[in-house]
Structure 1
């Protein structure tokens, strides 16, 4: 039967181990280089991602890829995604990122920029994209767990529920927040 599938049980185990290993390595590299590594891609970044996909596919499937190995590798990667989602739902912190406060009111927070690995010019770009013409229009800017930057504008007070998981949220001026 295994001969008809084109893969032996040992080869299938190697596919699973390769998929888990490459997933773990990818996760650690994203953590090391920061969420911004995945947020906004240039044309070169997209080309690199295509090349990485090819490389990762060869690592997961081994030297003689078969349909069976492809299905096992794909199923393993989806299982890893499900495991990550489950860990996030259970609030297991070693897998889930936390948002990072980049601006509190019109004040840019250098420690937030450093932690997020965002330079001021990138922040200014995100502010312009949000239609901000003056820093005084900003209530808060947050690097989200997806790597995107959310800009909250002044004008309406912020519901504390929206920033409950944002570290340093107390730095947002009280007059910009709804009372608890």
Structure 2
């Protein structure tokens, strides 16, 4: 019966182990290289992602390149995504990242840039993309857990709830925050 599906139970197990292994390796490398590795991509970055996809496919499927093996590999990767989400919901801190404060008011925080592995020029690019013409227009700039940079401009005061998981939020000038919360 298994041969008619194009995969044996042992081959299916190897596909599952390959998918779990490559998922874990990918996760650890993203953590090691930082969230910016998944943010805005250049043309070269996109080419590398295509090559990584090909590599990932070969590792997961190995020599068992059948439809059944592909379905087993795909199901395993989706199960790993579900498991990761479940672990993050438990808020263990192991899989979760915190946002990183890059600017507090008009001050660029060099420690935040270093921790986030963001170049000052990349920050300035994001500020320009947000329509900022002067650093005094900035309330905060934050590297989000997705790898994107969010720029909040001065104007209305910021609700502290929006900065709940942002370390060093005490560096943000008090006049930019809603009082008493």
Q: Separation in 2 of the partners of 1:63 and 1:124?
A: 47
After superposing the two structures, state which structure 1 stretch, 133-142 or 80-89, moved more: 80-89
TM-score, normalised via structure 1 length = 0.98
Q: Tell me which stretches of 4 or more aligned residues in structure 1 moved more than 4 Å.
A: none
Q: How do 1:1-180 residues align onto structure 2 when only pairs under 5 Å count?
A: 1-179=1-179, 180=181
Unmatched 5+ residue regions in structure 2?
none
Deviation for aligned residue 1:165: 0.5
With normalisation by structure 2, the TM-score equals: 0.98
Deviation at residue 3 of structure 1 after TM alignment? 0.7
Alignment size in residue pairs = 180
Superposed displacement of residue 84, structure 1: 1.2
What SS does the aligned partner of 2:156 have? coil
Any idea what SS the aligned residue of 1:114 has?
Answer: helix
Over aligned residue pairs, what C-alpha RMSD do you find?
Answer: 0.7
Residue-by-residue CA offset, 1:130-164 (whole Å, 9 max, x unaligned): 00000000000000000000001101000000000
Structure 1: state its 5+ residue gaps: none
Q: Secondary structure at the match of 1:94?
A: coil
